């Protein structure tokens, strides 16, 4: 009998905690739609108590999605309440609550005497917090998941005691995270097997795992846990997440599928949607996929050496353990151009996983035409970048109205910018060490601010001399980071747009909380 492994996708929660990644509500909703096509079992949509943006994203995704939608909460009543308020109208809500259980976390994060003076006292407090949190969540939702943060480094008998108590309190899923990516595959597998033996009521809950990739072992640890009884795998697209990331969804799913000869586990993932999902996540988060990334990297199905190419021509299985089609890598490249119509664009976007219609389609079409005018051929990756850029736009209170650059081998780089802020415009010029520096200085003068740029990068999103350039600007202000992206065939314009978007995010944060403002301890 084959056994199903549930796929719990945390791209929109842990994934979004990746340094440099930040998604707005529309982008999260669009990714959730694509995750639904991918057919994941659970979508963790965010951490509602951490910011109004997170709250809104969870609310919208919960109301729209036919999948189970989970919201994260610390083991405190306020967080759980906020998760429930966001999920109240969700079709399939899940409250996910967590607290740390390892000695090192307990002593570090719960060091204050109010949690107890000794480790043993603090452990009792944590156990009570876990049970109370699950009991409270259970009064609101039927589907409650509990995570023992840093379970990977938690004493086995204390972990078993906590897990048994939260199942008694009503948890329907118990998650065993390797929060710091410290464990070794056979060790982590034994941990799961051991829990299954020690916890007397374990059959009343699904055992889940959530592995981080600090030692590059997240996928191996997850597979080892599955072999030892875990039936839910928490993972993210492209493996994004805190620090070195989470276990990569596409790697777990394809390893289970391709090596089905070794075991009896399966997932319900529509693997042909992996590629589109991966590209969408990359273009919205700005987190570039390394070319040699398994399954979804540009080189995953490329064969460079003559010997390999020859083998492939004779029989693809000589060097490929799965087909590119099985993960949705396109086999033909459809190119759009300035003569492509709106419906042609809409159909192509739909094939790439984007749902655009009405006014939004009109806006994207106008943007597409201006790119097609400059670039002639518009590739799928150009469209993805444009979609990412378009969905970012509503967040921009500061708009680039005009930009003029003077630069050359024999002249001092000079930039003039005009910035629109609602009805007002601000115009300034500046020289600089290069055209980008001149442009940034002109923006700073126009807005009357000092330099806040912490890092800046620019990359081409597609091949060819007319490729779209994507600039990323990271600002640091009062200990918080704000990342903006801009896209254009002109990289100075892309840079100016990126800077203004980061400044817009900073301005927004001045008015509301955003995800960086809360010390949520994870
Ligand atoms: O890594 C971790 O422990 C987490 C939990 C909140 C599930 O992300
Ligand atoms: Zn995590």
Return d(Cα 110, Cα 470) in angstroms, integer.
43
Reply yes or no on whether the pLDDT at 461 is more than 80. no
**Banded model confidence at residue 327, pLDDT cuts 50, 70, 90:** very high
Residue 489 within a domain: yes
Which ligand is closest in space to the CA of residue 101?
Answer: 1
- The pLDDT value recorded for residue 400 is 92
- Using alpha carbons, list the distances in angstroms from residue 499 to 408, 467, 514, 520: 23, 20, 18, 28
Which ligand is closest in space to the CA of residue 149?
Answer: 1
Q: How far is the CA of 102 from the centre of ligand 1 (A)?
A: 13
Q: How far is the CA of 160 from the centre of ligand 2 (A)?
A: 20
Residue 396 within a domain: no
Q: Determine contact, residues 98/75, Cβ cutoff 8 Å.
A: yes
Which ligand is closest in space to the CA of residue 522?
Answer: 1
- The pLDDT value recorded for residue 509 is 67
Return d(Cα 338, Cα 377) in angstroms, integer.
8
| pTM score | 0.86
Last residue of a domain, one of 252, 285, 318: 285
Looking at the fold, whether 420 and 271 belong to one and the same domain comes out as no
Reply yes or no on whether the pLDDT at 518 is more than 70. no
Torsion (CA) 355, 357, 362, 367 in degrees, nearest 10:
0
- The pLDDT value recorded for residue 156 is 98
250-282: pLDDT as tens digits: 999 999 999 999 999 999 999 999 999 999 999
Looking at the fold, whether 167 and 252 belong to one and the same domain comes out as yes
CATH number of the domain residue 57 falls in: 3.20.20.70
- Buried b / exposed e over 286-306, threshold 16 CB at 10 Å, is bbebeeebebbeeebbebeee
Q: How far is the CA of 340 from the centre of ligand 1 (A)?
A: 46
Return d(Cα 501, Cα 22) in angstroms, integer.
12
Looking at the fold, whether 162 and 248 belong to one and the same domain comes out as yes
Return d(Cα 344, Cα 360) in angstroms, integer.
15
Reply yes or no on whether the pLDDT at 510 is more than 60. yes
Give residues with Cβ within 8 angstroms of 135, minimum separation 6. Answer: 169, 170
180-204: pLDDT as tens digits: 999 999 999 999 999 999 999 999 9
Looking at the fold, whether 462 and 487 belong to one and the same domain comes out as yes
219-230: pLDDT as tens digits: 999 999 999 999
Looking at the fold, whether 98 and 209 belong to one and the same domain comes out as yes
Reply yes or no on whether the pLDDT at 79 is more than 80. yes
Return d(Cα 155, Cα 165) in angstroms, integer.
16
- The pLDDT value recorded for residue 395 is 54
387-408: pLDDT as tens digits: 887 776 655 588 899 999 999 9
Please choose, from the candidates 61, 2, 44, 482, the residue with its C-alpha nearest in 3D space to the C-alpha of residue 264.
2
Q: Determine what percent of the chain is predicted with pLDDT higher than 90.
A: 68
**Banded model confidence at residue 345, pLDDT cuts 50, 70, 90:** very high
Please choose, from the candidates 86, 22, 94, 30, the residue with its C-alpha nearest in 3D space to the C-alpha of residue 56.
86
**Cα 381–Cα 387–Cα 393 angle in degrees, nearest 5:** 140
Residue 145 within a domain: yes
Looking at the fold, whether 368 and 275 belong to one and the same domain comes out as no
Q: List ligand 1's pocket residues with C-beta within 6 A.
A: 14, 98, 147, 149, 175, 177, 179, 210, 212, 522
Q: How far is the CA of 243 from the centre of ligand 2 (A)?
A: 10
> Which atom of ligand 1 has the smallest separation from the CA of 246?
1
Return d(Cα 31, Cα 37) in angstroms, integer.
10
Query: What's the mean per-residue pLDDT of the chain?
Result: 91
Residue range 17-38: average pLDDT?
90
Return d(Cα 494, Cα 499) in angstroms, integer.
9
- Using alpha carbons, list the distances in angstroms from residue 501 to 369, 386, 393, 473: 23, 15, 8, 9
CATH number of the domain residue 423 falls in: 3.30.160.270
Last residue of a domain, one of 344, 363, 390: 390
Looking at the fold, whether 119 and 185 belong to one and the same domain comes out as yes
Reply yes or no on whether the pLDDT at 321 is more than 70. yes
Last residue of a domain, one of 390, 422, 453: 390
Residue 518 within a domain: no
Q: Determine contact, residues 236/15, Cβ cutoff 8 Å.
A: yes
91-127: pLDDT as tens digits: 999 999 999 999 999 999 999 999 999 999 999 999 9
Q: Do strands 480-488 and 469-477 pair parallel, antiparallel, or not at all (unpaired)? A: antiparallel
Quote the domain boundaries for residue 137.
Answer: 3-285
Return d(Cα 202, Cα 173) in angstroms, integer.
10
Looking at the fold, whether 272 and 128 belong to one and the same domain comes out as yes
Backbone phi, then psi, for 205, in 5-degree steps?
-140, 155
Give the closest residue (by CA) to ligand 1 atom 8.
14
291-303: pLDDT as tens digits: 999 999 989 988 7
Residue range 494-499: average pLDDT?
93
Return d(Cα 99, Cα 115) in angstroms, integer.
13
Looking at the fold, whether 321 and 275 belong to one and the same domain comes out as no
In this structure, what token pair is assigned to residue 440? 């940034």
- The pLDDT value recorded for residue 513 is 31
CB count, 10 Å around CB of 392? Answer: 25
Q: Determine contact, residues 16/22, Cβ cutoff 8 Å.
A: yes
Residue 517 within a domain: no
Return d(Cα 461, Cα 446) in angstroms, integer.
30
Return d(Cα 218, Cα 87) in angstroms, integer.
30
Looking at the fold, whether 324 and 416 belong to one and the same domain comes out as no
Reply yes or no on whether the pLDDT at 168 is more than 60. yes
- Which is more confidently placed, 35 or 376? 35
Looking at the fold, whether 364 and 264 belong to one and the same domain comes out as no
Residue 291 within a domain: no
* Number of domain units in the chain: 3
- The pLDDT value recorded for residue 385 is 84
| Signed CA dihedral, 218, 224, 228, 232: sign only | positive
- The pLDDT value recorded for residue 521 is 30
For a mutational test of ligand 1's pocket, the pick from 98, 101, 207, i.e. the residue with the most ligand atoms closer than 8 A to its C-beta, is: 98
Residue 92 within a domain: yes
Give the position of tokens 């809500």.
93
51-70: pLDDT as tens digits: 998 999 999 999 999 999 99
- The pLDDT value recorded for residue 500 is 93
- The pLDDT value recorded for residue 512 is 35
> Which atom of ligand 1 has the smallest separation from the CA of 177?
3
Q: Among the ranges 70-84, 340-354, 415-429, which has the highest mean pLDDT value?
A: 70-84
Reply yes or no on whether the pLDDT at 514 is more than 60. no
Residue 424 within a domain: yes
Q: Determine contact, residues 280/384, Cβ cutoff 8 Å.
A: yes
Looking at the fold, whether 454 and 417 belong to one and the same domain comes out as yes
């Amino acid at each position: 009998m084959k056994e199903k492994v549930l796929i719990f996708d945390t791209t929109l929660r842990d994934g979004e905690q990746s340094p440099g990644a930040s998604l707005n509500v529309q982008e999260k909703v669009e990714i959730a739609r694509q995750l639904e096509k991918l057919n994941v079992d659970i979508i963790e949509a965010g951490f509602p108590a951490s910011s109004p943006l997170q709250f809104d994203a969870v609310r919208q995704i919960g109301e729209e999605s036919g999948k189970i939608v989970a919201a994260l909460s610390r083991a405190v009543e306020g967080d759980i309440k906020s998760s429930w308020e966001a999920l109240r109208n969700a079709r399939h809500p899940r409250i996910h609550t967590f607290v740390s259980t390892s000695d090192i976390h307990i002593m570090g994060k719960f060091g204050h005497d109010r949690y107890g003076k000794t480790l043993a006292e603090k452990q009792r407090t944590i156990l009570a917090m876990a049970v109370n949190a699950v009991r409270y969540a259970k009064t609101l939702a039927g589907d409650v998941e509990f995570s023992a943060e840093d379970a990977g480094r938690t004493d086995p008998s204390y972990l078993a005691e906590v897990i048994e108590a939260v199942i008694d309190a009503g948890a329907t899923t118990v998650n065993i995270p390797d929060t710091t990516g410290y464990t070794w595959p056979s060790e982590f597998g034994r941990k799961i097997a051991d829990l299954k033996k020690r916890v007397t009521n374990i059959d009343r809950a699904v055992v889940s795992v959530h592995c981080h990739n600090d030692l590059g072992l997240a996928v191996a640890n997850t597979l080892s846990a599955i072999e030892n009884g875990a039936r839910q795998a928490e993972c993210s697209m492209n493996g994004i997440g805190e620090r070195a990331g989470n276990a990569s969804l596409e790697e777990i799913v394809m390893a289970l599928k391709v090596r089905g000869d070794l075991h009896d586990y399966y997932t319900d993932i529509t693997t042909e949607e992996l590629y589109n999902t991966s590209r969408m996540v990359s273009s919205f988060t700005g987190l570039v996929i390394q070319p040699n990334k398994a399954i979804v990297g540009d080189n995953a199905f490329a064969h460079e050496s003559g010997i390999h190419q020859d083998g492939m021509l004779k029989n693809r299985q000589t060097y490929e353990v799965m087909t590119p089609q099985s993960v949705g890598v396109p086999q033909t490249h459809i190119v759009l151009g300035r003569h492509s119509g709106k419906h042609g664009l809409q159909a192509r976007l739909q094939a790439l996983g984007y749902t655009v219609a009405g006014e939004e389609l009109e806006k994207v079409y106008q943007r597409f035409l201006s790119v097609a005018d400059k670039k002639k051929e518009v590739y799928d990756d150009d469209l993805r970048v444009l979609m990412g850029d378009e969905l970012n736009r509503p967040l921009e209170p500061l708009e680039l109205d005009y930009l003029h650059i003077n630069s050359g081998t024999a002249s001092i780089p000079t930039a003039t910018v005009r910035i629109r802020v609602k009805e007002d415009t601000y115009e300034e010029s500046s020289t600089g060490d290069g055209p980008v520096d001149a442009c940034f200085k002109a923006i700073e003068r126009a807005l009357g601010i000092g330099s806040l740029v912490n890092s800046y990068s620019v990359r081409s999103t597609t091949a060819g001399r007319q490729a779209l350039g994507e600039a990323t600007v990271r600002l640091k202000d009062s200990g918080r980071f704000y990342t903006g992206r801009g896209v254009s065939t002109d990289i100075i314009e892309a840079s100016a747009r990126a800077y203004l978007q980061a400044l817009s995010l900073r301005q927004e944060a001045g008015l509301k909380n955003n995800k960086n403002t809360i010390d949520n301890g994870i």
